[in-house]
Amino acid sequence: MSEFEGKVAVITGAGNGLGRSHAHEFAKRGAKVVINDLGGAVDGSGAGDAADAVVKEIEAMGGTAIANKASVADKDGAKSIIDDAISAFGRIDILVNNAGILRDRSFKKMTLEEWDLVMQVHLNGSAYVTHAAWPHMNEQKYGRIVLTSSGSGIYGNYGQANYGAAKMGMLGLMNVLALEGAKNNVRINTLAPGATTRMIATIPGRDLDVDNPPPGSAPKLVSPAVLYMSCEEAPNGAVINAMGGKYYRSQVFVNEAVDLGHDATFEDLETQAERLMDMSAAKPPSRGA
């Protein structure tokens, strides 16, 4: 019997791609799954029945799932996702924040509306759904939350200032909630995935067949990391990268401080620029500011 047997997992943006793969993997192991998906296009426009289709797939394999078609970017809609889980299954054990959109454009050509919309769906949407789940998890003294970041945020990618900023924001949210939830066994981690999906296929220059991804870029190869971050022995406050069957951790490192005293000036610091920029002996910082 899997440790996920009987657990209740909520997955946003689970109508396609990575979210759908995560949902299948949880359901295979006996979890009861809430499939949230607005059913829109990659740019966030429109709506559809993608969530219903995934529910049918899970039911066909003998699993249990319900659909929710709310937008994570709407406060009431985000709350309804968690409300549906509690109403249908009585609790929520796992939340995977996966929903997202793209509005790629170089920063000088990007409109502020395109900036706002991407931030609203990715960063605010993750916060809204997590905020709704937070009291339930803390009260029952158990919860596992996964945020979804990206290499665009952690390392940078041309033409994705809005997306990258939102995705790096996941690390800040995780770092704080990892501290706040620890006392009640609520753990939160962040996924940095790589796979062939509808979203990736929209990036200029990519010629991808989403329905038949190359073996090394299938979404199912990302899902093991999500289940690891959702299990009972999950870490807390970790960033796990997953792509093509390869998994590794990313972490912030700091070097030794250049101590110039309370009378420090720019000229003083300029003379120590080489030491300031030297990361050869850097190490992870202590948790907390």
Task: List the catalytic residues.
Answer: 163
Cβ atoms of 12 and 98 closer than 8 Å? yes
Q: What is the rounded CA–CA span in Å between residue 94 and residue 129?
A: 12
**Cα 269 from Cα 250, distance rounded (Å):** 29
Whether the CB-CB separation of 8 and 31 falls below 8 Å is answered with yes
Pairing of β 8-12 and β 94-96: parallel
Nearest to 33 by CA among 74, 75, 67: 67
Pair 99, 42: CB distance under 8 Å: no
Residue 217, judged by CB atoms within 10 A of its CB (0-12, 13-18, 19+), counts as: middle
Centre a 10 Å sphere on the Cβ of residue 12 and count the other Cβ atoms it contains.
Answer: 29
Which residues are registered as beta bridge partners of 66?
34
- Confirm if 229 and 235 have CB atoms less than 8 A apart: yes
CB distance 99 to 74 below 8 Å: no
**What does 117-143 look like in DSSP terms, one character per residue?**
HHHIIIIIHHHHHHHHHHHHHHHHT-E
Distance between CA 182 and CA 14 in Å, rounded? 27
CB 37 within 8 A of CB 14: yes
